[in-house]
Structure formats: structure tokens, C-alpha cells
Structure 1
Amino acid sequence: MVKKFRNRRDHAATQNFSSFPSEEVSAKFTGPFRTNINEFITQFAPIVSNPRIGINLVSKPGFLKCKIPFNVSLRNEEHVDINMYILEKSPANSNSPLCRDCQVVGWSKHPVCKKRYHFIIPNHQPTISKKRSRKETREEDTKHLLHGLIHSNGYGHLVRINGIQGGSKNLSGSEIVSFWDRLCKLLRVRQISVMDVSKKYGVAYRSLHAITKGFPWYGLWGYDFGKGGFNVTKDEYRKAIDIISGKPMSYFFSLFSRCSSSERSRLLNVISFYRDFSDKKLSTVRDLFCVVLDLIHKAKKRDSREEEEDEEESPLSSNNFTEKDKRTVEATILKIFMLVDECRSIKYQDLKKALYRTASPDIIDYCLKRLKQTVLEDGSVVASLYNDDTHSIEFRRCRDQSEFKLIDKRPSLKNLIRDLKFLFDSILDPNTMDERIDTVDYATRILDCKVFIKDYGNQRTHYINVEEDAEKLRICCNLEHSCKTKNLYLKPQPPSELLVLHNTATIRDLKLAALNAFQNVYIALKGLRIESLVDHEYINDSVHVRLFLGNNATVTVTGKCPVNYGGLSKFIMEGGKMNWIVDCFCGVKDDDGEKMIACDSCNVWKHTRCLSLDDDQIFDSPIKFVCPTCDSTNNTRSILTSV
């Protein structure tokens, strides 16, 4: 399709990435997403065209390509340019019309929308090359800095972001998500889902952030629990976070103190080191990981030669101890070091044990953590250092200040990340943690929760934060209808649509507006016929909406929609015709995105993990599978037979 565009700009004004869109601009977009997106493209994103002949470069039907240039300010006061492309595609012209993300999130009963809008920021500098331009907007490219998808009904998915960890040179993940969030607010989307499978420091970040902060990383922008895999509920997810994050450190010492395993003794050594090293009191698992992440953050700033933040005041306040108590402990410490050779190191724990009769453990910790650079009677200096082999803090006498400066008690960034990964594998990863730890099931639940959703609240009229227009009526319209095909009688569930009517509109105008809204959004509703208003079937069409319903009201209309003609039956629902059954032992009744296998006898799908099946064996070679329910000879296990 070659289409001419007249009176359209070929070049859009460059926007500031860190502030676009502004609140002033967002306030002008007061309609639903289906109308806001068209206004947005018209105002900010001219169609990518050939300036010589003025035609759209895209040749595929149902495809439109636009771009918005942005300017990114760097810390060194330099600037770089990036482009965001908007691809408008029609599922009716696609070989894969159904949205896999909608099926996993739980929106499989939504009818297939007429249009999908892809928002893509490629991971490289803008180019004028036509071949490069086509490659940089491929949806399947995993290197995009941003890839968001929004259906014309306002529901969408944050498909991918790649910040510094993902190869971005100039934009962090936080900056990209903040931009995406502002854009979604401007367009007044309804809900956005994200599949959080990100890794940071080599670990699953959704688990690490949940333990340290109490919510996933995307929760910083309002994303909350959406749908758990293996039938994990929101309450179970919250309970798992609370139990693991509140697990006391004393539990691990009592569990592994008598064990001779080198790996288990290493776990206790690493925990002891950070407990002794930190000025904060480490009581729980959350405290432990917060301290390690804080040290990693400071080590990064130190390595990049940035000014370090002032350390937080220690919770072991000196106000809790008398000056006499502190002087007694400090004097004892100095006597011990005067008896120690200069070449000998003393472990933190050994020194603490030697002092346990002089004062309480809190006073001893307070004094030991302030022992750095203490000058003894003979002029030597006490230095503290990190022993990489024993994962512990040690003290040593230095001859003078010059030797003291050569010793750095802070572990390196490499060692900190190594310890973080080791602690994660030992305490939070159910696949590698010790089976005797009683939180394995809870750690599994946290990892099984990958889908998070942000509800922008724009599907209901009273959530739209705009001044009431005296000449406009805003009505939230629901649709009750059924789609009858040759073999199936399906009842899709389209979300409500916001109708903006004139204040003199009648019931007839409302029905017509509802018909246009649902037909313009969904492919399968092309033949929709609106019949009546629920609970108001006999209301006259000439009655004014303002007098009968008022403003900001909610109404439900009924309708019928034959889909036998034109091949529209395949667009009835995002989940397809739903002629397959999911019934797993974990309680799942729908597709949750996890690996499943169908029984060759009853055709019911179940999770491979719930059946204790090896995924490599299943997907690498053809097999015949019979579930325990259908196997009459052995109801306790599944039967796999090679084909």
C-alpha cells in the first residue's frame, strides 16, 4: 500500500527525553486511548517518509511507521540524539494475530484489537540508512532500549527494557521506565503488564528487590502483583516475601554451626563478615542483603571516582553507653595490641571473644568498629582489613601512617558481587539453596511470580483527572454480547469503553457512540448490533442522556455479533477459540506461561514441573505422554514413552 500524505511535516521537533511529556502537554489529552494515540501521532510523530517524493516508505498493508527524535543530556554536559519509533500494525494482516502476552497475563478473553502500537527505541545512534532503519525497528530484536506494545483498547505490555546492564550506553533502566510511565499517563492507557525476568549481578532481580524493598523493582512505578505462575496468589506472594525477609540470622548459625561442610561453613563466614563489618545491626535476611547492596553501590561510586555519600549514623548509638564503659573497653583493646607482634593479624571474632567479659557485646561492637587508625603508645597504628580467603575482618599493627594507607579494609566491587551471588544462591534461590532451610517453598513462590501489572485507572470516568467540561458528557459503557460461530458459542469479555458525548446527546446518540467505539477497537465486532440498555430496555431513544443518566455515569448495553462471515471467528478472543483444557495438580486452569505438556489420552494440559518431568527429555525428542489420571496401571506417576 502506497499512500500519499499532504500537509504533513516530515521532521518532528526534537523533545527532551528526561522531561517529555510535560504535565501541561498531558493535560490536553483527555479522551480514551483509542483517540489519544491518533492525536499524539499527529502532533508529535510525523510519518517516516521519503522527502523526495513524499510517500510512505512502508509497503505492507495495515502498517504505519512514525518516529519522534529525542535529545538525551549526559552527566558531562554533552548530548546525544535517539529516536523512538511508533509502529502501527493490524493483527488482521498478521500471520500471528493472537497476543501471547495477553494470554499469559489473563486477558485471553479480550477480543482481538484492530490495531497494535509498538513503541521502540533502538539501542544505537540514529541513522539515515534505509536498511538500518528497517532493521532497528524489528520487534523481535532483544537489544532494544525500549519496546512497549499497546492495543487499541488501552491494554498493553512493557515487552522489554535494556538499561546499563543490558548494553545501554547513555540511559539507565530507571530513566527508560520513567519515560515509558509518563508516556502511558499521557496516552491514558488502562493497564500495562510486564514480565519481569531481569537479572542483575547474575541473580534474579525480582527476588532480590522483593526481599530488600518488599516489592519488585517495577513497583517503584506502581506495578503490582499481576498473575502468579503455578497458581500462586497475591497473598501467598506477600507472605513468602515477609517470611524470608524477616528470617533471623541466628537461624542459619543454629542450623549450620555443627556442620563440617565447606560450603556451609563459608555461608556462616560470609554472614559473620558483613555482620561485623557493617555499622548497622544485621538481624534479618533483609538487613543482610541491604548492607551488601549498599556496599556495592558505594564501591561503584568509589571506582568511578565520584564523591562518596556520607555514611549513615550507626544504630549502635554511643548514647546507649557511658563514657566509663567505652574507656574500659578501649583500654583493654590497646593493651591486647601492645602484646601482639606487628606481622600478626587478629580476627574480629577472636578479638570480640577476648573482650566478652569486659562489657556487653553492643559496647564491644561499637568500639571495634571505631578502631580504625588508632595510634598506640609506641607510635604504631591499628589497621583493619578484609581477608578474602576467610571472608572476615582482621586487625593488624602497622609501623607508621604510610604503611596504614596501603591497607584498605573495604572489599572490592568484584568480591562484593561474588558474595552477593553466593548469598543469593545459598538463601534465596530454591534451585541451589540447602534443602534443610525451611524457606525453600517460599523462595520458589517468589520466583514463580513474574507478571506485574500497573492499573492506570483510565477505564472508569471518575479516574480521569480533568476539569468537567460543561459541553461534554463522559459515560463509561460496558458491552454484554455473545458471538455465535458454527461450532462454538463464545462469550468474549471486552473491557468498558469511555464515550465522550455532547451534553445534548440522546439515548440514540449513546447507542451509536457505543457501536462506533467497539467496532473501531475490535476486529470481530465488525457486525455488532446494539440492542438496548441493561435494566432500561424500554427507554425511548429520544430521551436526553444528561437527564436520564447524568454525567460520569456507567451504563451497560446489550448486543449481538455474528462472526461466521469474513473469517472473523479467529479474532473473537486473544486466547483463540479455547478448544484446549488446562487442569494441573497445582490448581491452574488457564495458560500461565509456564512449560506444559498435554496428555495424549485426555488432551488435558499440565505443568511439566508439577509432573516432575525433565524438560530436556520432553522437548528434545518425540514422546508419548500419559498423565497419572489416565494411567490405569499406575496412578502415582506419569508415563513417558519414546516414539
Structure 2
Amino acid sequence: MAHKRSTSEPTFILSPLCSTYDKYNYNKIHKPMPTPKEPMSTPKPNNIYRFHSFGHPGCPATFSGAFRDNMREFLAHWAQSLANQIEGNPTGLAHLALSQETLILLYVIEEDVRGSPWPHCDHCRCVGWSHHLVSRRRYHFIIVASDQSLCVLHSSTHLLHCLIHCNGFGHLLSLNGRENGSKHLFGHHSMGLWDRICSMLCTRKVTVEDTARKHSMELRLLHSAAYAHPWFSQWGYSFCHGSFCITELRYSMAVKILNQLPLAMLDPQHQDAHLHRIIGKYKTICNSTISTLGQLLRAMLLLNACLPWQKANAAPTMNGSQLVTPSKCMLKKLDNNKVEVRDRARKHIGETGLLDFVLMSLNNCTVGPHLIRRTINRKTKVLEYSLSLVSTELDYCDGEAATKTRKSKSGDHPQNQIQVGRSEVMRDLEYVYKRVLEGGLGGEVVEAARRVVLDTKHLTKEWPISDDDGKLRFMVRMVVEEAGMFSHATTPPELVVLSLHASVGDLRAEAERTLHDTYCVMEGFRDGAAIPRQSGIGMGVWVRGKGAERGAASLKYEGGAKEWRVECECGARDDDGERMVACDLCEVWQHTRCLCIPDAEEVAHLFFCDRRAALS
């Protein structure tokens, strides 16, 4: 019977959007965890770099070579070498100061692929890079959880875990934030650091699988519907490829449908009164026209981001009508400290207990169109309140300047004053998500668009080749003279950097050295000729040679030594990481979903596809 492959569903718990994916972790290669060793002691730092500037030009250095050479230079000069190795791999450490009191440890581990029990990369296989040659080294960039020490490479608790092959192609594997092990870093902090590191070291291309969840919501679906693009697009990540043969055009159309869905099309008979109350509530709070699903979700996410976290305090239960008058009175007295606000409000409201309760309840919340923040003065240690319009705060959070003053349509009547907190916003957000995006309220078109977005998980970012240092850059491809040595027609070219006055002989020698140093199977390759193919930045060159058969034949392609034949009715012709099954006669792989086999259902011990079943 052919081997049955399946991908288990990972679990994700994220902190609130819109500014962060605070819990994004995924480890595609399910490996048995090695027995943890004694935690290594952290050495005294030789150099400390600022967290928010690390990776910028000149911090710690400016690199202009290929990624493989830049990594050697970085580890040799800018990372502190540790005496203890992680799983037998050399380890470097960079100390990053987040503040005067907080130091973040960035571990950089160099893994020798030939000594690894998992030399092939499942991540490359699932994003369409099965034809990449196996690199000799892999580099892991890891920030461990605040209360842990680095003992193993692969762990879902790492705050940041990124893997880059020495050819410059890599994967973002894990990203965790404040809710899951981090005391100081939000998800966007770690993503910003990772993006700067990739730019600094001249990384070629990086992928990420966006399967993050919060509660019961798929965040790639929620964020695409709200903003018309995935969360990772803030750092330049875009469509890589979709599962089940989803194309970029289908994905773009699906996102547009969800983002621009008119609210008037949802429940025109007003059968869902709660949904219409939610829509009316956020129209009143934001003092703006909300006419599409994208505008509604966006307003809720931005408002959620504007409301800081607050701890739950035990307080007496009071209904809204009891709080309307004192809250309205408080709004006119704010922008002062607690004592002044309390004394002025007592002229209109005599009940001191009610005033104190309202003062404590008005912490980081909205009342009508106003956003109320409460802070402690560092000098006087007295509570102080500030007042601003929600519409202004939303413009600020969205990165847009407020170009005009929005006028309230709700008036100043007590029944129009709406007070919401973070928990209520999240409940409303979940209700709209489940009712519209999952509950079928939008009809068949919305359901089809939803399915397309959920089937598009793989995103990628490619960094351009810099050419501002007066050096020559060539993209070198190899032509192997041994017939049948490689089954795939092309592999990604390798970047070779030479001085401005280098000769053709220098190019051939450097190309040969590059191929030896980068790929396991090219250890015996000998160059015979260099043939230019194109001009300009990163000029293309073909290098002809032989001797590749002397390398490690079992470490040829990242996708493994065995050829997979995929012919699914959805149109897929390559492995996309989804659950598949192979026919025991023809050995052709197909998606179990396309065969109407539920994910929770086991595949039969003997499986025959429809074509073979018809013949038999």
C-alpha cells in the first residue's frame, strides 16, 4: 500500500489585531523532540545593540555579498560564540536592548544538513520549492520565550523561529507574542526585527504559512475581509501559491468580494436583530458611514487596537441607565486628575459611591464618540484622565491623517451614549465573523470567496539584489554534462559577487567555489566554461561542468529522493501541503478533500482511485 500522508491541523491563539499577530506559531516538520539538556548559562555580552535599530544599515554592519558569505561574516564578527552547542550545532548570540531594563537574546544556530536526521525540507516541498537542491547548511534565528532557555531547535513556544538555507531561501516558522510566553515583545516587534535581519543579510526569498487563529476565527480570513490584504503584507509578503490549484487572480477576486460586500445585502429582511444592533452601534461610535463588511470589520479591529488592556476589577453590577448621567457629567470635567474631576462632578451628582465607581469604570473605554484613557502621573502618582474623539484615534491607528472633522449624527441624547470595552468589541467581532463569514448569511458567493481565502495560506517575500557598492553581480546557473543527473530542468541561480575588474577566469573560479560551498550534490562539480546569457543588474551566466555525480546523491532535492506524481481533479500537479492519498495501483496522489473524504475520517487500508476502480 502506498504511504498515506496527512498534515495535522495546528492550533493558534493570538492577541488582538489589528496591529499585531501576537501568536503565530507553526512547525510544519513534526519531529520527536530531543531530550532537553541542562539550560545553558547566558554569557556576559560583548556588544549590546538596540532592538529597534538592529538590522538597519550599519547596525551592526553593512553587508554587500551573497547571503552565505554574509552569514559567515556576521557569525565571525558580530555574534558572540557560545561554548555550549544546541543539538551539536555551533551557536552564536546577539544581545538586543529593548529598553534599559529589558535585554532580548537572539540565538543564531548553524545546522550542518549532512549530519541532520532530517536533511530534506518539508517547508520547501509544500511551497513549490521541491526542485531546489539540498543546501549544505541551514541557519536558525531563534528568540526563546521569556521564562525558558534554548535547549532544542524546534519548539512551538519560541517567540521567533526562522530558518534560512545557505542559498538565501528560507521560511518563517514561529511567531509568538504577549499572550504566549513573551513578557515584552509583541508580534509586530518580532516581525519588524526579522524583516530588518533579512534585508541586512541580503536574503533571497522567505515564505510564511499564514494559519493563525484567534479563538475560533481564522485570522487570514478576518484580516483579508477587513483590509483586503493579509496581515503579513505590512512587511511586503504577498501571494505565493494556493492549495487546491488556487491562482493569484482567484485569490484577489475573493478578497475583493469579501472586503466590498455591501451590508445592505446581509439579512435584508432584518431577521437577525442582534447583527443590525452591532452595525448601528459602531456607526454611532465611529461617527462615520459604514456601508461594507470591510469597513465594519476594520472599524471594530481599529477600535479594539485603540483600547489598551485592562485587568478585570470586581465591581458592583449597575445597569446602563444608572451610569448615563454621571458618565455624561464626567465627560465635561475630564482632562484633569481624579481629585479635580471628582470634586467638580459632585456639584451635579451627590452620590459619592456612584462617582467613584464611574471614575474607576472609565478606564480605557469609549462613551459615545469619545475615547477615555486613564494614566498615572509618574511624578505626582495621581490618576489623570484624557479625552479624545474615537474618529481621531481610528485615523491615528490606521496611519492616516485626519483630513476633516466628522460631525456626530447621534446628537447628545443619553440613549445615544454608548460605552464599550475591549471584551465587548471582541464579542461583537466574533459574532459578525461567525454569522457572515461562516454562517452563510452572505450567500453562495461569499461562501465560495471564503473558501478561496482559507485555501491560500502560503505567502512569500523576495528581496531585490542591491547594486550600489560598485561590484559586479552575476546570477549563475549550472549545466551538468552528465546525462540524466538532474530530473528537474532548472534550479534557482546562485548570486556571485566580484570586484569591478574581475576577469572571466575569476568568475569561473568563484562560481565553482559557490556551488561547492552551497549544495551537497555539487561537491565534486568542476567548471568547464562560463556562458553569459543576459546583461544588467545580476547578469545571468550559465556555467557548464561535470563531476556532480560525486556529491551526495541522496541529498539532491529538497523534496526528497522519491518523485511524487500528483494528478488531482482540482488541477493540482504538485504537493501543496494538504492532506493527500495515493492510489495503491497507479500511485497517483490526490487530495482527500477532492475525493470527498473528511479530514476526521481515516483512509481505507487499500485505496483505489476512480479510474482504477472503473477498470477493475
Q: How has the CA–CA distance of structure 1 residues 137 and 182 changed in structure 2, closer, same or farther, with 3 Å as cutoff?
A: farther
Q: How has the CA–CA distance of structure 1 residues 97 and 113 changed in structure 2, closer, same or farther, with 3 Å as cutoff?
A: same
Give SS of 2:596's match.
coil
Deviation at 1:475, TM superposition (A): 2.6
Q: Which residue of 2 aligns with 1:415?
A: 424
Q: 2:518 aligns with which of 513, 516, 521?
A: 521
Q: 2 CA distance for matches of 1:222 and 1:521?
A: 27
Q: Which residue of 1 aligns with 2:460?
A: 453
Q: 1:181 aligns with which of 195, 213, 218?
A: 195
Q: Which residue of 2 aligns with 1:69?
A: 95
Q: CA RMSD in A?
A: 2.9
Deviation string 1:18-48 (CA, Å, 9 cap, x unpaired) is: 1113322476311110100011111211210
Q: Which residue of 2 aligns with 1:467?
A: 469
Does the CA-based 8 Å contact 2:287-2:408 persist in structure 1?
no
1:117-516 matched pairs, under 5 angstroms: 117-124=139-146, 133=149, 136-200=150-214, 202-254=216-268, 256-257=269-270, 264-300=272-308, 302=364, 305=374, 307=386, 309-312=388-391, 369-372=410-413, 382-384=414-416, 409-429=418-438, 432-434=439-441, 436-458=443-465, 464-468=466-470, 472-481=471-480, 490-491=487-488, 493-516=490-513
Give SS of 1:441's match.
helix
Q: 2:611 aligns with which of 616, 624, 629?
A: 629
Query: Is 1:22 aligned with 2:6?
Result: no
Amino acid aligned to 1:445: V
Q: 1 CA distance for matches of 2:497 and 2:76?
A: 20
Deviation string 1:611-636 (CA, Å, 9 cap, x unpaired) is: 111222216xx6322222222189xx
Structure 1 or 2, whichever has the larger Rg, is: 1
Q: 2 CA distance for matches of 1:629 and 1:583?
A: 12
Q: How has the CA–CA distance of structure 1 residues 15 and 628 changed in structure 2, closer, same or farther, with 3 Å as cutoff?
A: same
Give SS of 1:500's match.
strand
Q: Which runs of 5+ in 2 are unaligned?
A: 1-42, 310-363, 366-372, 376-385, 395-405
Deviation at 1:559, TM superposition (A): 2.8
Deviation at 1:202, TM superposition (A): 4.2
Q: 1 CA distance for matches of 2:277 and 2:580?
A: 41
Does the CA-based 8 Å contact 1:117-1:150 persist in structure 2?
yes
Superposition misfits of 4+ residues, deviation over 4 angstroms:
306-309, 365-368, 482-485, 548-552
Q: Which residue of 1 aligns with 2:25?
A: none
Q: 2 CA distance for matches of 1:206 and 1:525?
A: 40
Deviation at 1:230, TM superposition (A): 1.1
Does the CA-based 8 Å contact 1:252-1:268 persist in structure 2?
no
Give SS of 2:90's match.
strand
Deviation string 1:556-600 (CA, Å, 9 cap, x unpaired) is: 22233443x56x122111112342211111111111111111122
Q: How has the CA–CA distance of structure 1 residues 59 and 309 changed in structure 2, closer, same or farther, with 3 Å as cutoff?
A: closer
Higher mean C-alpha deviation, range 593-602 or range 270-279: 270-279
Q: 1 CA distance for matches of 2:221 and 2:121?
A: 27
Amino acid aligned to 1:213: Y
Does the CA-based 8 Å contact 2:86-2:153 persist in structure 1?
no
Does the CA-based 8 Å contact 1:499-1:513 persist in structure 2?
yes
Amino acid aligned to 2:610: P
Deviation at 1:309, TM superposition (A): 4.9
Does the CA-based 8 Å contact 1:279-1:314 persist in structure 2?
no
Amino acid aligned to 1:560: K
Q: 1 CA distance for matches of 2:602 and 2:198?
A: 41
Q: How has the CA–CA distance of structure 1 residues 618 and 562 changed in structure 2, closer, same or farther, with 3 Å as cutoff?
A: same
Q: Which runs of 5+ in 1 are unaligned?
A: 1-8, 50-56, 126-131, 316-364, 373-381, 386-408, 459-463, 537-547, 635-643
Give SS of 2:153's match.
coil
Deviation at 1:232, TM superposition (A): 0.8
Does the CA-based 8 Å contact 2:146-2:181 persist in structure 1?
no
- Higher relative CO (CA 8 A, sep ≥ 6), structure 1 or 2? 2
Does the CA-based 8 Å contact 1:298-1:308 persist in structure 2?
no
Deviation string 1:125-151 (CA, Å, 9 cap, x unpaired) is: 5xxxxxx74xx2422211111101010
Query: Is 1:614 aligned with 2:598?
Result: yes
User: How does the TM-score come out when normalised to structure 1?
Assistant: 0.71
Amino acid aligned to 1:45: A
Q: 2 CA distance for matches of 1:110 and 1:367?
A: 59
Identity %: 29
Does the CA-based 8 Å contact 2:227-2:259 persist in structure 1?
no
Give SS of 2:445's match.
coil
Deviation at 1:531, TM superposition (A): 2.5
Q: Which residue of 2 aligns with 1:47?
A: 81
Q: 1 CA distance for matches of 2:474 and 2:257?
A: 45
Higher mean C-alpha deviation, range 277-286 or range 445-454: 277-286
Query: Is 1:560 aligned with 2:573?
Result: no
Does the CA-based 8 Å contact 1:533-1:558 persist in structure 2?
yes
